[in-house]
Structure 1
Amino acid sequence: MSIYDMSVKTIDGESVSLSKYKNRVMLIVNVASKCGFTSQYEGLQHLHAKYNQKGLSVLGFPSNQFLEQEPGTEKEIKSFCTLTYGVEFDMFSKVDVNGDDEIPLYKYLKKQKSGFLGLGTIKWNFTKFLVDRQGNVVKRYAPSTKPREIEKDIQKLL
């Protein structure tokens, strides 16, 4: 199974196939509105604005699994992201990234690039996965890694 065989639900409730992102570099991030790392939305939006036309797609997946730091509805999340950070990159419905209800995308991402000490879990909000134009997960970044620190890796794949 390839990443392009999966479908996800947009923040507006529409199902979309990840094949939409074929031949694009993807930066996939589990996000939250009430987290110490929430200001990373600004950096993610900067990467989107700078590199979207060159082939980068930033994909934000809200998750409430870490100290309930994403308690809002999709409508509230979308409003917060747009009004506070001017987010224009693709946002998706709230998901589980660990556990029995985790979405297949995150099972796939974690299988391709396990975390610290080889553990197959997401430890916190703003864990980032970089996927090349062929759909290969090439790197995983810790929540503390700022988007600007990923820019050189993105440039290499574009």
Structure 2
Amino acid sequence: MRTLFLLSTLWRCTPAVSLVAALFTALPASAQTPPAAPAPAEAAGCPAILQHTFPRLQDEKPQTLCQYSGKVVLVVNTASFCGFTPQYKGLEALDLKYRNRGLVVLGFPSNDFSQESGSNKEIADFCESTFGVKFPMFAKSSVRGTDANPLFKQLAQASGTTPKWNFYKYLIGRDGKVVQAWSSMTAPDENGFVNVIEKQLGTN
């Protein structure tokens, strides 16, 4: 009855053109405001350090790192014209060997040390044709200082160290916590380095 009375009153006192607007205004605020969009499903159970989206190297389309939740993640800043560039081969071998056990290598090209001047397409072509790189690579970005991308800012904060050169390495455990960082001098097939990765992979 109250609703009929309200409609009757509005019809008599309000021009027909504005009837709908007036009726909407008369509704409670909670009915006027659309519900907030639910949080993305990808964020549920995704550790904070992986809650980032970056353009892929090959096609520059956005890709979330949350898809690597639950994996052991090795993050490396890379460059095409560095004395350590041949480490691409070892990183690809590492990714291939342990992929089925839950390891993923993520490459982030950077020109912070003036050894990666090419475009994203040029970098992608070089990595694939020269070293057969298949592990995920992302568009060129900064990895140190105030301009560092948000992932590397978190890695630096969690590990207490920023990349001193190309091919710095950070290992993130399945729980999303940074396990350890290694300098460029650490080769991808070095026993101590591989042992830490195998320990994180466990028997899964």
Please indicate, yes or no, whether the TM-score normalized by the shorter chain is above 0.5.
yes
For 1:74 and 1:84, locate their aligned partners in 2 and report how far apart those are by CA, in whole Å. 15
The counterpart of 1:28, out of the listed 75, 79, 98, is 75
Q: Which moved more, 1:24-33 or 1:14-23?
A: 14-23
The counterpart of 1:109, out of the listed 155, 171, 175, is 155
**Do structure 1's residue 143 and structure 2's residue 192 form an aligned pair?**
no
For 2:184 and 2:141, locate their aligned partners in 1 and report how far apart those are by CA, in whole Å. 17
**Do structure 1's residue 134 and structure 2's residue 181 form an aligned pair?**
no
Residue in 2 aligned with 1:50? Answer: 97
For 1:102 and 1:14, locate their aligned partners in 2 and report how far apart those are by CA, in whole Å. 20
For 2:85 and 2:105, locate their aligned partners in 1 and report how far apart those are by CA, in whole Å. 15
For 2:52 and 2:132, locate their aligned partners in 1 and report how far apart those are by CA, in whole Å. 28
What letter is aligned with 1:123?
A: K
1:10 Cα deviation from its structure 2 partner: 1.0
What letter is aligned with 2:99?
A: N
**Do structure 1's residue 59 and structure 2's residue 106 form an aligned pair?**
yes
Residue in 2 aligned with 1:118? Answer: none
What letter is aligned with 1:37?
A: F
1:9 Cα deviation from its structure 2 partner: 1.7
For 2:160 and 2:62, locate their aligned partners in 1 and report how far apart those are by CA, in whole Å. 27
Name stretches of at least 5 consecutive residues in structure 1 with no aligned partner.
116-120
1:4 Cα deviation from its structure 2 partner: 2.4
- The normalised TM-score by structure 2 is 0.72
Identity of aligned residues (%): 46
Residue in 2 aligned with 1:86? Answer: 132
1:18 Cα deviation from its structure 2 partner: 1.3
Residue in 2 aligned with 1:123? Answer: 164
User: Number of residue pairs matched?
Assistant: 152
Cα RMSD of the aligned pairs, angstroms, is 1.1
Could you say which structure has the greater relative contact order, defined with CA pairs below 8 angstroms and 6 or more residues apart?
1
For 2:169 and 2:88, locate their aligned partners in 1 and report how far apart those are by CA, in whole Å. 12
What letter is aligned with 2:199?
A: K
1:114 Cα deviation from its structure 2 partner: 1.5
1:100 Cα deviation from its structure 2 partner: 2.7
For 1:24 and 1:151, locate their aligned partners in 2 and report how far apart those are by CA, in whole Å. 16
Residue in 2 aligned with 1:16? Answer: 63
Could you say which structure has the higher helix fraction? 2
